Structures are given as C-alpha cells and as structure tokens.
Amino acid sequence: MATVTRALMSVSDKRGIVDLARGLVELGIEILSTGGTAKAIMEAGIAVTPVEEFTGFPEMLDGRVKTLHPRIHAGILHRRSDLNHQQAMAAHDLKPIDLIVVNLYPFEQTVARPDCTFADAIENIDIGGPSLLRASAKNHTDVGVVVDPDDYPTILAALKEKGTLSAEQKLGLAKKAFRLTARYDGAISDYLGSLDGEERLPFGETLHLQYTKAQDLRYGENPHQSAAFYHSPAIQEPCVATAKQLQGKALSYNNIVDANAAFELLKEFDETAVVAIKHTNPCGVATSTDSLVDAFRKTHACDPVSIFGGIVGLNREVDEATAREILNLKVFLEIIIAPRYAAKALDILASSKRMQNTRIMEISVLADAQPARYEAKPIVGGLLYQERDMGHVNVRDCEVVTKRQPTDAEYQALAFAWRVCKHVKSNAIVLTASDQVIGVGAGQMSRVDSAKIAVSRAQQIGLETAGSVVASDAFFPFRDGLDVVAKAGATAAIQPGGSMRDKDLIEAADEHSMAMIMTGMRHFRH
C-alpha cells in the first residue's frame, strides 16, 4: 500500500483539525488547504500549501470555486495501480492527493434556524465539499477520506504506525462519506420540496430519513423475525438510541420499544418520578417530594404483579437506598434506566445474582432535552409522518363543565393523571391519587371496558379507589364508562370533550357530584 504523502483539508467543523494537521506535518505529509481551514492551521504555526498555489488558479466567486479543478480531482481519482493513469499524471505534471479531510457547510443547522432566509439556505449548499468526498470515496482503494473529527486520533495513529491506512479502514471511511453526502443531498431536497413560494411547509414533496445501525438484534418481536436497531444522527434529543448500557444482557427488540416508552413518559415530569412499563403501557407511575426510593416504592405498589419482567425508569440519580429497595422487593426487571447511578448503587445491583442479566442503562439528563419535532410510523408500502404529541395543558386553565369545581387536591391529581394518560394505549383510562397511579385500562376496543379494567386492577391489588380521579385520553362516547369509575369512588374527571353526548356526560358527572374538566386536546395513542 502506498504511503500517504499529501492531504487536503477543508472543514466547516474545525474540532481537532489543528492537532491533526500538526500530526500529519510531523509525519512529513504535505497539507493543502483552503480559506478558513488554512487560516486556522497557519495561525497555529503549521506549514500549509494554499490550494490556489497547488492548482495555479485562484479561489474566486466568493469562495464558490476553490477545489473544483483538474489538479485536485486528478490527484484524487487516478488509480495508483493503473499504468495509463500514472502516465497521464506524469504527462500533465499532476501530483497525488492521498488523504481528504472534509466536512460540509452546515446546511441542516442553517435551515433549522427560525430566521433562515432562502438566500441563506442556498449559500449553505456545499458544492466543492461533496465533490471531494464522492471522488475520494469512489477511489477509496487508494485514498482515505475523513469526514468525522472523532476519527482523527485513529487516523493519525494508523499513519504513525504504518504510513498509510488499511484497506478495511479506507472502506469504512468511504461508507461514512457516502452516508454524509446522501444525508446532505436529502436535506437539501427536503428543504426545497417544502417550499411554497417563500413559505416553508411542514411536510414537503420528499422525505429522506437516514439511520445508522447501532447493533444487530438476536431477533425481532418474535424469535422467527430477524431485526436490527438503527439510530438517527440528526436527533440530538436524549433518547434510548444514545443511551449507554452499563451491565446486563444485550437489548432485545421488545426491550428497546419498552425502554423508549419508559423514557418518553419520564420526560413528562420535572419532579422526582419513577415509572414502570410493561408492553409499552405504564403499570406504575409515582412522584415524590420526599425521595427517589419513596417514588419507587409507590410505583411498585401501583401493580406489584405486572411490574415483574418490566422496565423501570427513574429521572434522578439512582442512590444506594433505591438500589437496595429494588433488591429488597425481589422483583425481576428487564431494564433499569436512569440519568445517573451512584457508584455504591451500581455495586449493589451488580452484586446481585438475580440482577446480573438486568440491563442497566444510563441516559442523558432530561433537562438537556431538545425534542425532535416529528416522528414516523411505517406501514406496508408507505410511511406515516406527523408532529410528535408534545401538547400540554394547564389543568387550571381548562373549562370546568360541571356544577362542582375541582378542589386544589383534585386539580393536582388531575394534572398527574393527564400526563400519565397521554402515554397509555387507547382507549386509555387512568385512575390516580395525587401522585400515584392506582389503575390503568389500556388498549381496549371499548372505553367502558378500559374503565372496568382500571377499577378492577386497583381493587385486586387493594388500592383505595375512593377519592381517586380519572383521566381519559379521548372523549367518553357514552356515560357508562364514567358511571363505572364514579361507582368506584372517583371524585373528578379530566377528558378532552368533543362528543355529541358531552351534555349527557356532564349530567352524569353532576349526578355523581363529580367535578369534570375538558381539555380540548386529545392524546390518542393508536
């Protein structure tokens, strides 16, 4: 394999570029560079050959033409093993370029700005960069192409050891480069396709989604289905896709789905909260003004049967007391997910033979969340794409439709119930106290059956339903569901309203001396 003798650097993201340049020069590698990249390297006292000196042609048109030159592209694209190519290079006094370090104008970041104009977007469409990447990635057998600053240390180490990059490394780098150009072109296409004159529409003519494989999975939802897990490099929001697994077996398809459900529900709470998820539905949720261990105990008490084999999410650092309580209650958990773990807590969980297979996952602090705006759901032959349900209401601003106003305690409980109900599969009915789920009815074909299940689960477990409140993700179509929870002792209800029979529901609530508020917002999870 030929030794790397010359590198071209032209980057928008300048993280680590000076250190890389210094390392290359120390290895005797000539650096060609342009514009701001050349300036940054030269200011660090590192020798650089300006591209215009190499090509004999000046940068022009406000930097639109810099590297688009035969001396650059011939230096990249010629096959080192092809005699005709070598003769052509010699005949025209052309020199090889063996390493390309390039990343692109920040088009995605630019168009994401609320104040981005059409002119701003157009000027941030990179031309020379993608051309360099495509050329070097095509000829990856001879040329290394680097697009990710995180790869710089590995590249430098390989060059120090061998003077070149392995065939395997160059192929891997080429794959990264083509992924970047594909995503980049897709973003441009989506942006232009979303324009109606000067107005930008939320859903354009095209939709390009790119995901990178995080891991192969043993199987999918069932053992006869093969599966893999992919994540989106465009999503910066703390999420399961970027979580760090600290111990336990490899994640399964169903583990990932449930862990995502747990974490999305956790995001609803600023106060100390613990959630338990089984088959994507919450079987326990509680908050506490006292401690995390208190919140865990109350979550476990919501449904100590269903939590077995479930997922527990916590939005505070898992401390020693909480870890010991998890062990003391002798419940098997598939996953524990939290933003942090105290060292003693990890030691306690790791020392338990029963917990050795439990996946311990660490995820970014919730306060740092910058939520992605859209979500996708594939169907056979197509894709449904929508805004995520990020809707919130202040329950005290909602319309009270009954004769009786909710008490302060009921308002608190209704707000809690509404946040939980949003994450239960429809038809969803949730019974709660002020800070603890009591019963959940999920995914039934009729809302009255969901109400019966919520009451039945609470009563089977021995939780007190008298004085509870009820949340319904969509309107009650008939009064029968409300009658069920009222008979069980629920004193207040929160629901979207909007039924043709809202009047009947209001009359029923008044008959039961219930307070009822209508949000005007539905949280259906189909």
| Cβ partners under 8 Å of residue 400, min gap 6 | 406, 515, 516, 517
Q: Which of 69, 176, 208, 279 is catalytic?
A: 279
Residue 481: both structure tokens together: 């569901």
Task: Give the Cα separation of 9 and 23 in Å (integer).
Answer: 13
Residue 470 tokens, joined = 């009820």
DSSP 368: G
The 3-state DSSP class for residue 400 equals strand
DSSP 153-177: HHHHHHHHHHSS--HHHHHHHHHHH
- Please confirm, yes or no, whether 279 is among the known catalytic residues: yes
Q: Catalytic annotation on 487?
A: no
Terminal alpha carbon distance of the chain: 57
SS3 for 45?
coil
Candidate list 14, 69, 138, 176, residue with the active-site label: 138
Q: Which residues share a beta bridge with 377?
A: 384
Q: If you write DSSP's letter for every residue of 67-93 in order, what string do you get?
A: S-SHHHHHHHHS-TT-HHHHHHHHHTT
CA nearest 276: which of 320, 306, 240, 242? 306
**Amino acid of residue 165:** L
Task: Read off the tokens for 280.
Answer: 């994507």
CA dist 329 and 103 (Å) reads 52
* Cα distance between residue 197 and residue 191, in whole Å: 12
Q: Are 250 and 408 spatial neighbours (Cβ–Cβ below 8 Å)? A: no
Q: How many residues does the chain have?
A: 526
Phi/psi-derived region of residue 512, left when phi > 0, alpha when psi is between -120 and 50, beta in every other case: alpha
Which sequence positions are flagged as catalytic?
A: 138, 279
